[in-house]
Structure 1
Amino acid sequence: MVYQIFLGIIGGLLSVQLSQAQDLIKDQPAQKNALEALNHIYSWEFDQAREKITLLKPKYANHPAYYLLKALVLHWKYIPLEKSHPQYATYGQLLDRCTQLAEARLKKDKNELEGLFFKLMPNGLRALAEVETGSLRRAVGYGRKAYGAVKRGFKLKHQFSEFYFSTGLYRYYAKQFPQSRPIIKPFMIFFPAGSKAKGLQNLQMATQKALFTRQEAWVFLGDIYLRYESNLYQASLAFGQLLQQFPNNPFFALKYAECLVHLGRYYEAQNYFVKFQKLSPPMYQIGWRVLQGIIAERLQKDLDLAKKQYAEALNIKGFDQRYSRDFRALAKAGLARITAAKNATNARKVAKALYKQARKHTEYEWLKKQIKQALKNLK
């Protein structure tokens, strides 16, 4: 879910003139290479991204940005990159090296911005990954390491607009995570309270004022509107904005198509399937079949085809916990609707079970409300 965090901050760090500790921020060719590497990553041009990152090595092999950029190539190429993936060990080593170099900088100057940012980013990535996989104690450990840097950013956002992004993320998810994952609540005593309203406000400010974290703010706003705020139109605007700028990014295409399907814009959505339907990761294969199933059910009124698509989606093995869970929940809810329509006692029982499974596995608040009403109607 919250999984693309802090990508755009790198570019901000490379250009911000608040710190004078490293030649990188004054090295225009290096800045250009790093920012172009980021754009290649978003554009799914990983070989080109690596070429740009390699150009940094002669002068900046001991700078944390070099290792974080290399990690982010893996992060996006194998999205969603989970612990079970063969590349995760390499990814973790790169993040660890980034942290080590950042901490070395902070030993010389505890207020040095590059050190703060590059300590924040890998620990933030790790914390959110641990939350997604249920390793809460490890998540808290990484979160506490990252929080000091995030907190300092609260006071700097008016001075440096990129901080609107990190501030918005913390404010929103510090409130949302305990609601969507109640088991986290006891751990939140270590952190100040969040505010969804302030979080959204800061993320919106980032889309307007930030330069390098603007796209990341759109990513998270899209996810938040889709999952928690039940504002499918705003979610579609966010992912549509991203896809317009990075048309070769299949993840953006998948999320935009999903929003269009939920909005009933079925023919529009189908235009984007070609961008991801042949990709092998389960997230794309499950997502494509579920979206096809919804279209078959609601537009074509072909319940047999819809049932087939939903069943195929659920039979795909090796699915991830970050994105495929919600698609699987949509498939189970779809099967429940089709089954409940038979209006037989046994069918109603099966439908109830499917609805409850879907409710358990989704974070889509609007889907939970639909399921609640459907279960009420089946009583």
Structure 2
Amino acid sequence: MCACWAIALAQTPLPYQSTYRTYALEALRAFYAMNFTHAEKLLNHLDSLYGPYAGTSYLKALAYSWRIELDPSTTWFDSFWERELKRTDSLLRCCAPHPLEKYFIGFANKALEVRRLYVRGEIMASVWKARELLSLLDGIRKYADTYPEMQFELGLYEYYIDYFSKNYPIMRPLLYFFPKGNETSGLARLERCARDSLNYTQYEAAYFLGYIFLYQAKRPTKALYWLEYLSKRFPENPLFRRMWAEALYQVGRYTDARQAILPWIEAYERACPHPPCYLIFGRYPTSEAVQAYGLLGMTFREEKKYTEAQQAFQRMDALLSTLGQFPAPTWARLQREAALLEKRMGYIHAAEARLRRLRAREDVPSYLKGELPD
């Protein structure tokens, strides 16, 4: 009997069966700890135990997604990411009779396709692709009380539909056809998932809560809670550590922010004497160092230690110049922070030159093209 029919006949869906769950959760923890080789071994072992399965293929796609999240300056992993997304979709069409598979894995896979487009700057294409989520949304709502992982997906949908409707006017004609969202309800669902240790989406929910509170909802105290939790749970993950440091910065704890980020910067400089360095070759990607130095400069700037701030931003610029690509919104945000230092130091022409370069790029969102604060 083929693996897909064996799964179909099982009373308990495969992700909830003890052996599968043990290996899958360990693989997820390995992603966040940046131990991708170990994660791949675990997922390949699941393949050997259960044969081709959409859930395992989706986890492989998620592993590539996390590599790109940690190092967006390289496209090395993109083709593998896309391959696993397509393979998951094919397995779902073939052999996914259970609601947990059809709706949870199906929705998660479509959402990851949307994220792939968004991460690579194809914002409108990502919204267009998101229409495919609608056919699964009723099923997610129907089974959300039975399978807690679906609360995560419903929470993300509710939050982001509301967020984009309010903050991206250009998207409103497309979003008109989507069921309305609710930021408050969405965040509440994510918090429930993040506090559930038996939930596959526990750490993903905590990460999205940290990201949303830090960058979108502008509630740094809430962000600090989740990002400190993730940083202490996965100290090897530079993304969690740097976002934690940024939350410390946003609540005015500049010395604590530096203490959080400096050990990683020092380790990066030892590990990468000849930048750029990429995640495929080690654990210290230059793209993360760019943001770490930018944050370091911001902490010194707010303490009026302008010489140290200038040195940090100069290192940021030098590392940026070694990268062939870098996410435009993040680049623009860092340029604005460096320009603000130049403005405060009285280097008005230098600050204006940065803003002109920023405003000339079509891939930079309009909200990042405004005037600098004082």
TM-score by length of 2: 0.80
Aligned with 1:145: secondary structure? helix
Give 1:340 shift.
4.8
The answer to whether structure 1 residue 176 and structure 2 residue 170 are counterparts is: no
Aligned with 2:147: secondary structure? coil
Equivalent in the alignment of 1:275: 264
Give 1:99 shift.
0.9
1:223 to 205, 211, 215: 211
Is 1:243–1:253's contact at 8 Å kept on the other side of the alignment? Answer: yes
Equivalent in the alignment of 2:138: 151
2:59 to 64, 69, 75: 69
Q: Once the two structures are superposed, what CA deviation does each residue of 1:317-338 show, in whole Å capped at 9, x if it has no partner?
A: 33432xx733641442342343
Equivalent in the alignment of 1:320: 326
Q: Tell me how far apart the structure 1 counterparts of residues 36 and 76 of structure 2 sit (CA, whole Å).
A: 18
Equivalent in the alignment of 2:333: 329
Identical-pair percentage = 22
Give 1:133 shift.
3.4
Equivalent in the alignment of 1:286: 290
Is 1:289–1:313's contact at 8 Å kept on the other side of the alignment? Answer: yes
The answer to whether structure 1 residue 240 and structure 2 residue 246 are counterparts is: no
Equivalent in the alignment of 2:346: 342
Give 1:310 shift.
2.1
Give 1:220 shift.
0.9
Counterpart amino acid of residue 275 in structure 1: W
Give 1:148 shift.
2.7
Q: Tell me how far apart the structure 2 counterparts of residues 255 and 137 of structure 1 sit (CA, whole Å).
A: 26
May I ask how many residue pairs the two structures share in their alignment?
A: 347
Give 1:170 shift.
0.4
Q: Tell me how far apart the structure 2 counterparts of residues 38 and 290 of structure 1 sit (CA, whole Å).
A: 30
Equivalent in the alignment of 1:302: 305
Aligned with 1:44: secondary structure? coil
Q: Per the alignment, do residues 67 and 83 of structure 1 end up closer, same or farther by CA in structure 2, a change over 3 Å counting?
A: farther
Q: Once the two structures are superposed, what CA deviation does each residue of 1:157-186 show, in whole Å capped at 9, x if it has no partner?
A: 233322221111000100112333333222
Equivalent in the alignment of 1:201: 188
Equivalent in the alignment of 1:9: none
Q: Once the two structures are superposed, what CA deviation does each residue of 1:80-124 show, in whole Å capped at 9, x if it has no partner?
A: 565960221111001110111012235xx4x63212222212211
Counterpart amino acid of residue 199 in structure 1: G
In the alignment, structure 2 segments of 5+ residues that lack a partner are: 1-6, 269-282
Q: Per the alignment, do residues 262 and 319 of structure 1 end up closer, same or farther by CA in structure 2, a change over 3 Å counting?
A: farther
Q: Per the alignment, do residues 339 and 355 of structure 1 end up closer, same or farther by CA in structure 2, a change over 3 Å counting?
A: farther
Is 2:224–2:247's contact at 8 Å kept on the other side of the alignment? Answer: yes
Give 1:58 shift.
1.8
Q: Per the alignment, do residues 158 and 222 of structure 1 end up closer, same or farther by CA in structure 2, a change over 3 Å counting?
A: same
Is 2:294–2:312's contact at 8 Å kept on the other side of the alignment? Answer: yes
Is 1:333–1:354's contact at 8 Å kept on the other side of the alignment? Answer: no
Q: Per the alignment, do residues 80 and 123 of structure 1 end up closer, same or farther by CA in structure 2, a change over 3 Å counting?
A: farther
Is 2:213–2:219's contact at 8 Å kept on the other side of the alignment? Answer: yes
Give 1:247 shift.
1.7
Give 1:128 shift.
2.2
Is 1:221–1:235's contact at 8 Å kept on the other side of the alignment? Answer: yes
Counterpart amino acid of residue 163 in structure 2: Q
Is 1:161–1:210's contact at 8 Å kept on the other side of the alignment? Answer: no
Give 1:372 shift.
5.9
Is 1:282–1:320's contact at 8 Å kept on the other side of the alignment? Answer: no
In the alignment, structure 1 segments of 5+ residues that lack a partner are: 1-16
Aligned with 1:272: secondary structure? helix
Equivalent in the alignment of 1:12: none
Q: Per the alignment, do residues 219 and 349 of structure 1 end up closer, same or farther by CA in structure 2, a change over 3 Å counting?
A: closer
Q: Per the alignment, do residues 357 and 208 of structure 1 end up closer, same or farther by CA in structure 2, a change over 3 Å counting?
A: farther
Q: Tell me how far apart the structure 2 counterparts of residues 38 and 182 of structure 1 sit (CA, whole Å).
A: 36
Aligned with 2:58: secondary structure? helix
Equivalent in the alignment of 2:23: 33
Equivalent in the alignment of 1:266: 254
Q: Per the alignment, do residues 40 and 341 of structure 1 end up closer, same or farther by CA in structure 2, a change over 3 Å counting?
A: closer
Is 1:286–1:328's contact at 8 Å kept on the other side of the alignment? Answer: no
Q: Tell me how far apart the structure 1 counterparts of residues 113 and 57 of structure 2 sit (CA, whole Å).
A: 15
Is 2:26–2:39's contact at 8 Å kept on the other side of the alignment? Answer: yes
Equivalent in the alignment of 1:122: 109
Q: Tell me how far apart the structure 2 counterparts of residues 86 and 186 of structure 1 sit (CA, whole Å).
A: 35
